[in-house]
Structure 1
């Protein structure tokens, strides 16, 4: 006879330590992107490292998400798809407002994070370009939503609405490369929109799809260009 699963009772400092470790785990596959720039490193080495690092991160993130998350159904019904449309448009409006602000106040044509992506997409090594597209369109949205919404908000703010949204947004914003506070504000706003939608719906599938739709057009244009 199976005994009921005991709830997790980690204290706040243990949870904080776990989250910091999970945060740095997200950086590992991104660092692998720089291996193809060394002509001495074979694709047989960096492609398995790249895919394997994300696979390990997904498994660990899913483990914590499933054990800590607030239970409830997560269907992709008509209401969910309407929320996806709303979230995607909200992120585009935020970008249209905050990018010009960053240009005016921060004197940046594009954010530091986008500059890094442009440089990677302009690399002469096709493997770097393909890995960047895969990371930006598929791997990063899933990993970042699992970490900053699924794990972070359920670790610390399962029953607290606005604090969870604020901390998730700030963590998401600071996780992206920034030179200016207005650049960071752009990603904080985008993270806040995703966090608000997750809190309202308790459906991580919705925020993953919105994140994917937000990243896909730009990376597709850069890849084709």
Structure 2
């Protein structure tokens, strides 16, 4: 079975090719620029726009990290396999679905435990909930953007680039630090603790499956179930 260390070899030096400082640097720079530009555009959308604020934010949250990932791939390596884009045994994908549902179930006790430490942040995801509750078409669009595009974009950046880069210092450095960066990227608010748990799960799946796709499945299922939960009126 593949592991994250089974990466293409540099033919001239016979050393493993993996994301390094150039990939990390350009990915961070590109992500900051793309998030800033996208967030500004989303903020300036006129009232009554067919794209709701929640959908616009999901669009930015998917396209900005995806763009940063593309830049990181093209800067030097020009091969997606060192970033975890490899085939994986279907058993890992089934395990990912179970892990995603477990993370969703854990979101309630985690929220109950940590929400008191983040007063005033209860409305952080209200725009996403509103988008999910604005009719069937809006719910479908929101799931496509927030349940599919955003997870793919965030996983290829935070796991494909960040975690793959950090694994050179060991499994736990890669998993924990990438999960922490992922959590902080969601803001210092009540979302951060559960984002850290999801980040730990997806980082471990990347490390032990050797593929990013189980991590993507966890994120897709977790986000989609949450949007459906809010979309049907809870």
User: Which residue matches 2:107?
Assistant: 95
Partner of 1:37, secondary structure, is coil
Alignment partner of 1:114 out of 107, 116, 125: 125
Q: Is the 8 A contact 2:93 2:217 kept in 1?
A: no
Give the length in aligned residue pairs. 210
User: Which residue matches 2:42?
Assistant: 33
Name stretches of at least 5 consecutive residues in structure 1 with no aligned partner. Answer: none
User: Which residue matches 1:84?
Assistant: 96
Measure the CA separation in 1 of the matches of 2:115 and 2:97: 27
Partner of 1:177, secondary structure, is coil
Closer, same or farther in 2 for the Cα pair 1:35/1:101, shift >3 Å?
A: same
- RMSD (CA atoms): 4.0
CA displacement 1:31-65 (0-9 Å, x = unmatched): 543344345x798xxx9xx9799568536514635
User: Which residue matches 2:164?
Assistant: 154
TM-score with structure 2 length normalisation?
Answer: 0.68
Measure the CA separation in 2 of the matches of 1:52 and 1:92: 23
Name stretches of at least 5 consecutive residues in structure 2 with no aligned partner. Answer: 1-9, 74-78
* 1:132 Cα offset (Å): 4.4
Measure the CA separation in 1 of the matches of 2:82 and 2:160: 7
User: Which residue matches 1:185?
Assistant: 193
**Larger helix proportion of the pair:** 1
Measure the CA separation in 2 of the matches of 1:154 and 1:136: 24
